[in-house]
Amino acid sequence: MTVLRTFTPRLEIYSIDEAFLSLEGCEARLLPHAHQLRAEVLKWTGIPVSVGIAPTKTLAKVANRTAKMNPGRGGVCEILTEGAQTEALRALELTDIWGIAGRLDKRLRALGIASPLALRDANPDFVRRNFGVVLERTMLELRGTPCQHLVEINPANKQIIASRSFGEAVTTLRGMEEAVSTFTERAAAKLRRQGLNACRLGVFLQTNPFNANDAQYDNGLAVALPIATADTARLLRAAMWLTRKLWREGYRYKKAGVELSELSACGSIQGDLLTAPDSQKSKDLMHVIDRVNLQHGRQTLRYAACGTRQRWALRAERRSRRYTTEWSEILDVR
């Protein structure tokens, strides 16, 4: 996404591996611009990407899929004319269209709309009456009428979850406390990066449901915090209390997690006679911890509750070398 931002000032991060870009101002050299973008991403990340260019988001997804299906296009497809759009849609199934899955596909076919072209050319009133405004917008986008605009400011998270499966089963309360403490630290760091506080914290524990020989246990609890906070120490106290309430001896636990919810922006927290928002001293401490861990690596500074050996941690012996994202693993050419 950092590389993509160098090619346009307007970018919507749609998912971890997908984005929509506005190419206004580049109309005279759309294809060269797209090929250069693709080359830069490959150069700096090693990740091959495909680029679809069209007048709407839905058609851009169609163009992107067309680029993937046709290696001869060099990873780039442009469908700006009606003829090019018709040709691209003719090669696809209904379920290839953004937002159309199996159940909707069956309903469309039952009413005589069996292809992307049939959907594009359907009567708008008929589509709205039988399927609602969302599919009507999809139909209009297939015709080249923009109905979904770039979302350049991502909405604030409604919850933050930190969870991992364990590298080996956890059978002791101390081991589980270490794992939950580590997840709480990670969730708190994410919370502060987004300038948020949490009013509620939840913890869940579970065994391995795929191991029929083990006794099974899966449970979770949540608690309202006395006041919204982003202080790791405060969150840890609540997380440890919940972990002890949830803990049951005699099980081999495979996974645990921490959820922070009812999030609110920093600066909007008001205390009362018994509770006060995070103090400036607390905020300064959290800032130092976050800066050190960002510069020197995760958990360089951590609370003792997280433990030191962490035998439960997810194993990664077979992980590929991280040549482009980890300084210690960059290739050394002599």
Beta strand ranges found along the chain (DSSP E): 11-15, 18-21, 51-53, 76-78, 159-170, 196-207, 218-229, 253-265
pLDDT of residue 154: 65
Would the pTM of this model clear 0.75, i.e. be above it? Answer: no
Q: In whole angstroms, give the CA distance from residue 211 to residue 160.
A: 29
Q: Average pLDDT over the chain, rounded to whole?
A: 90
Other CB atoms closer than 10 Å to residue 229's CB: what's the count?
Answer: 23
pLDDT of residue 317: 67
Nearest 5°: the CA angle 90, 95, 100 is 120
pLDDT one-digit tens code per residue, 192-201: 998 999 999 9
Tokens 């099980």 found at: 251
Residue 305: which residues within 8 A CB-CB, separation 6 or more?
177, 178, 181, 236, 240
Q: Are 301 and 289 in contact (CB under 8 A)?
A: yes
Angstrom CA distances, 285 to 41, 156, 160, 289, 325, stand at 37, 24, 21, 6, 28
pLDDT of residue 268: 66
Higher pLDDT, 242 or 334: 242
Higher pLDDT, 23 or 273: 23
pLDDT one-digit tens code per residue, 24-46: 888 888 999 999 999 999 999 89
pLDDT at 271 over 70: no
Structural domains of the chain in order of their starting residue, each with its CATH number? 2-142 (1.10.150.20), 159-306 (3.30.1490.100)
pLDDT at 276 over 70: yes
Higher pLDDT, 1 or 298: 1
pLDDT at 95 over 80: yes
Helix intervals (H) in 93-172: 102-110, 116-120, 124-131, 133-142
pLDDT of residue 19: 93
Sign, Cα dihedral of 244, 246, 247, 252 = negative
| Among the listed residues 112, 154, 192, 127, the one whose alpha carbon sits nearest the alpha carbon of residue 20 | 154
Q: In whole angstroms, give the CA distance from residue 258 to residue 332.
A: 39
pLDDT one-digit tens code per residue, 143-178: 999 998 888 766 667 899 999 899 889 999 999 999
